[in-house]
Structure 1
Amino acid sequence: MRERWRAVGVLAAALFTVNVVARLVIKFGFAGDDTAADRVSLVMFVVIGLILAAMAFRWGRDRSVGRWAGDLAAAVGVALALTVFVAPLLVGENPFGGGAGLFFAQIWLYLAAAGAGVLVGYLILTALGLDHRSRQLKRYAQLKAAKPRKVVRR
């Protein structure tokens, strides 16, 4: 159980780190340039989606959907809370400084990127037939095919 939560914590920390790095790049590299800041934000969301796609692909091979989806949801929830409330403070901004619209836009964009990443990772895994359920069904079919038929005598 301890290893499970450690992996969730490391994933949440990685997602949070990606956001902090993007905020620092925007602050020090592109201060005042909104188009460059939008591009950096887009790259950040793509990186977050790719990280979650890779984790869904990796964890989906060994674990059932309910288990890895819960782990990913917990990691995304913690990372989202840190991203919205703590990350702006680290770069010297107010989390609510842009108003309610910007605050909730951050949340929806983050959840959209996370959901898209998880969906892409799981769909690729399922399409390749490497997910936990497909592998279970394959083992079951092989087991049933290996047993000889019982002869019924009357």
Structure 2
Amino acid sequence: MKQRGKSIAVLAAALFAINVVARLVTRLSFSGDATAENRISLGMFTVIGLVLAAVTFVRAQRVPPGTWLPDLAAAAIGGMLLTILVGPFVSGAYPFSGGAGNFFSQVWLYGGFAIVGTLLGYWIATMLGRDYRSKSLKAFSEAKTAKPRRVVRR
């Protein structure tokens, strides 16, 4: 259990670090340029989705979804809370300084990219036959065909 909590915290911190880098690039290089800020923000959400897709792809190969999905969801929610509540302080603002609409749009964008990234990683693993269930079914069918045929006497 301790290892699960540590992996959740590390992933949440990594997702938050992506946000910190995006905010620092925006603050130091593109302060006041709304178009560049929007592009960097969209790029940040895309990178977060791709990181979650990669983590999902790797985890889906090793353990069943009932094990990795709650961990991934907890890490994504933790990363989102850090991004939305702590992240604005990095760029010299406050969580609600852009208004409630800006705050909730970040929640929806983060959630959407996290869900799509997770689904993408799982679908790719399933499509390639590398997910946990496909591997289990393949091992079962190989074990069934490897047994010698029983002789039935009449």
Between the aligned partners of 2:153 and 2:101, the Cα distance in structure 1 is: 76
Between the aligned partners of 1:111 and 1:99, the Cα distance in structure 2 is: 19
TM-score (norm: length of structure 2) = 0.96
Structure 2 runs not aligned, ≥5 long: none
The one-letter amino acid paired with 2:35 is T
Runs of 4+ residues deviating >3 angstroms: none
Displacement after TM superposition at 1:30 (Å):
0.7
Structure 1 runs not aligned, ≥5 long: none
Between the aligned partners of 1:94 and 1:5, the Cα distance in structure 2 is: 29
Q: Aligned residue for 2:113?
A: 113
Between the aligned partners of 2:6 and 2:61, the Cα distance in structure 1 is: 19
Matches within 5 A, 1:36-115: 36-115=36-115
SS of alignment partner, residue 31 of structure 1: coil
TM-score (norm: length of structure 1) = 0.96
Between the aligned partners of 1:12 and 1:123, the Cα distance in structure 2 is: 22
SS of alignment partner, residue 98 of structure 1: coil
Displacement after TM superposition at 1:110 (Å):
0.3
Displacement after TM superposition at 1:151 (Å):
2.5
Displacement after TM superposition at 1:153 (Å):
2.7
Q: Aligned residue for 2:14?
A: 14
The CA RMSD over aligned residues, in Å, is 1.0
1:142 matched to 2:142? The reply is: yes
Displacement after TM superposition at 1:90 (Å):
2.7
The one-letter amino acid paired with 2:17 is T
The one-letter amino acid paired with 2:123 is L
Displacement after TM superposition at 1:77 (Å):
0.8
Deviates more, 1:130-139 or 1:117-126: 117-126
SS of alignment partner, residue 86 of structure 1: helix
Provide Cα deviations, 1:22-43, integer angstroms capped at 9, x if missing partner.
1111111111101101110111
Displacement after TM superposition at 1:100 (Å):
1.1
On the 8 A contact 2:23/2:90 being kept in 1, the answer is no
Provide Cα deviations, 1:99-123, integer angstroms capped at 9, x if missing partner.
1111110000001111111111111
Between the aligned partners of 1:126 and 1:58, the Cα distance in structure 2 is: 11
Aligned residue-pair number: 154
The one-letter amino acid paired with 2:37 is A
1:25 matched to 2:25? The reply is: yes
Between the aligned partners of 2:95 and 2:119, the Cα distance in structure 1 is: 29
The one-letter amino acid paired with 1:20 is V
Displacement after TM superposition at 1:85 (Å):
0.6
Displacement after TM superposition at 1:141 (Å):
0.2
Between the aligned partners of 2:4 and 2:135, the Cα distance in structure 1 is: 22
Between the aligned partners of 2:124 and 2:94, the Cα distance in structure 1 is: 39
